[in-house]
Structure 1
Amino acid sequence: MQEINHRETENVVLVGCQLDNDDLAFERSMDELKSLVETAKGTVVGTMTQKRQKVEPSTYIGRGKVEELQVLIDEKKVDTIVFNDELSPSQIRNVHTRTKITVVDRTQLILDIFAQRARSKEGKLQVELAQLSYLLPRLAGQGLALSRQGGGIGSKGPGETQLETDRRHIRRRMDEIRHQLEAVVGHRQRYRERRKQNEAFQVAIVGYTNAGKSTILNRLAEVVTLEENQLFATLDPTTRQFNLPSGMKVLLSDTVGFIQDLPTTLVAAFRSTLEELQEANMLLHVVDSSNSNYIRHEKTVKQLIRELDAEQIPQLIVYNKSEQKDPDFFPSHEEDSIEISAFDPDDLDSLKHAIEEKLIEQMKEYHVLLKADEGSLLSRCRETTLIKKQDWIEETEHYEVRGYVLPDTALGHELAIRTIVKRK
């Protein structure tokens, strides 16, 4: 078995290949890789980069750079090499053979963080399925790299000691996980159908990891969920209820943070969770305005929303962290957006009103008279429609109610029938 030095954290060297002339984008990508390593409890002790037209098929970086890497490993007492890309099985094997050091690529690093963060049974199963999908084609010749039994980056999860010897066991385990997830997906689908029957308006919070999604959910819904200044602090989806200024009740769902080059195995494994986006009536796309790379983050999230077939859902872009926004920040005016600080009560009120205005675009105006004994219908109007005016008419003993309702709901059809025809 490969020996590893058991310090409190692992010494990590980062390796990246720049294949274009965009120096700033490459630098930011390497900075993000450093943040990922720190989230995985690693300590970056060195960085090695190389400009190339294309990667070296056998070792990703050139032969000379591999030799430099070996010197750096000895100098810094490196435990793990982390590459800023997804490597082929042969590249991992060849670099490991030459350096005798654990080799982890960007995909495995992200999977490793997800494995640390998963709390629910569903989350753990989804991560394990993604890890096994990633590891299965990388088993051949990977005995040394995969047989680590201790802690360390790239070692969280699915019983590495048996992976290289029993492909059938892995495939059998993957089938078991898919079967278990089917039951969870069925439960989630029934829950979604029940919410639809209750005519609940659903808002999904999406955004790049560490943009402040959980903080916004906590402040709007006045609840406490995990908030950390780390990548992928929230993995398991959370749904809470909050009231808009009109009194209408809305369901707010937090989702897993996106990231550039999110591993396809993770997208596939988490598809049932990400389907929450497709069922939402509105997306709150949270962007960290304090991050100098906010434009690329925004584009990354929009691309993933398209890949999940959710681009047709109305979006409100929320530029968060306005109290510390980047000096070069300039909001996009192509779509509806708002700048806020999640810690400013006035900003949160403005956000609630912005959600209402965006919601009205999907709704139909109604104007009805309700009898005094129609209290249950009035209560439904208060909870599931946007009431703009409500008056008690003493002479006729009726409630006059004006507002907006989602037209494709049972209440929407009922109010449409009863709406007073406007006089010209």
Structure 2
Amino acid sequence: MNTEVSYNHTQTEIIQLLLQLGLTSGGSFAIWRKPKSKKLEMVLDETASPQKVALSLEELPPGFIVHPFADQEDKKAYYIKANRYFSFELDQEFKPEDLPEWAKIQLEDQQKLNDAELRKLLFDQTINNKIITSGISEDKSHFLQLVERGIEAVKENKLEKVVPARTKTIDIPEDFNLACTLLSLMNSYPNALINFFHIPHLGTWMGASPEVLIETKGDIFYTMSLAGTQKATGDNPLKSVAWTQKEIEEQALVSRYIVSCFKKIRLREYEEHGPKTVVAGDLLHLKTDFRIDMEATGFPELGSIMLNLLHPTSAVCGMPRKEAHDFLQEYEDFDRSFYAGFLGPVNVQGQTSVFVNLRTAALFSNKAVLYSGAGVTEDSVPEKEWEETEYKCEIIGKFIQNPTA
């Protein structure tokens, strides 16, 4: 590609250029935009085989971490090292000469791919992804039965809460444009981590996660409890919202679990703010924020410590954690893969931001698998939990099938 040629580089074209860089590299890459940010970032590792790392975040070089819901036998996560890094502000003008030197070198012998060529390149690279689906995870009657089992387990005091999940497979339209889809998600969900990652032969995923698992910047550690879900309605949904006892208790369970993790490590000095109602696209959630000064409390490795204690959170698994996890392993009957795992940039520009992988879709060939779950307590109504998973699936699904949704 001749980088001297003058293009009208719209935001979509810039994202397409980054996707071309990643998909033609033969390696792994991730593209993301953090909540309340205008900066789009990319890391690229040209290594053909996926890298795995121990969960000692403070010791890792800059990169992007991806961990499935289930623990790995080796206790490691997949890692896309930032051998190449690039970022730009979405609200600023971009010119080809603004590309880093490594990108110019990689693109100099390539033609700029059009929409159809990029789509074919994407589908060709996702056809062998290890996306494990089963008919049972799509079946409504199975999910309703799963919710019933969960309610029964809570009533019998075996569980306080459990979060069953399901999948929904949709066709990717012939005119699908990944760059448009990602940009539309960024515009529609300013308070979410908009992310896309590709690890050859393992997975290609995109999502819009509203839930921080752990975040560290300087000496400050941050986490949140996010639970309770309802559709945002009316012109001012924050003023008209009303939460049921079931939703309030569901969110309180998550907050109590975070506090119990602090107690386990004898950490007593923390700030707690909330719960308050927050908007995540078309949905409302209850959120409580927790902040800790790692230097003042003597916990410089709090990010790694809390990552191990929190995952999987009660918001995606249940409580007590072990019993809820065992329940799901026995009755859920499908592999969640990276759904409800965690992902995000680590030690990039002096900050680590790891999110729970929610509102997400796995791409393979010309189909997308959507994932969603619902928190079940004794007050749950199976049909309403199904409806909740439907509109959670729609968050990503509608943008895949209609990028301007």
Tell me which interval the TM-score lies in, with the shorter structure as reference length: under 0.3
* Structure having the higher Rg: 1
TM-score of the two chains, using structure 1 as the length reference: 0.25
> Which structure has more strand as a fraction of its residues?
2
- Bigger relative contact order (CA 8 A; separation at least 6): 2
> Which structure has more helix as a fraction of its residues?
1
TM-score of the two chains, using structure 2 as the length reference: 0.26
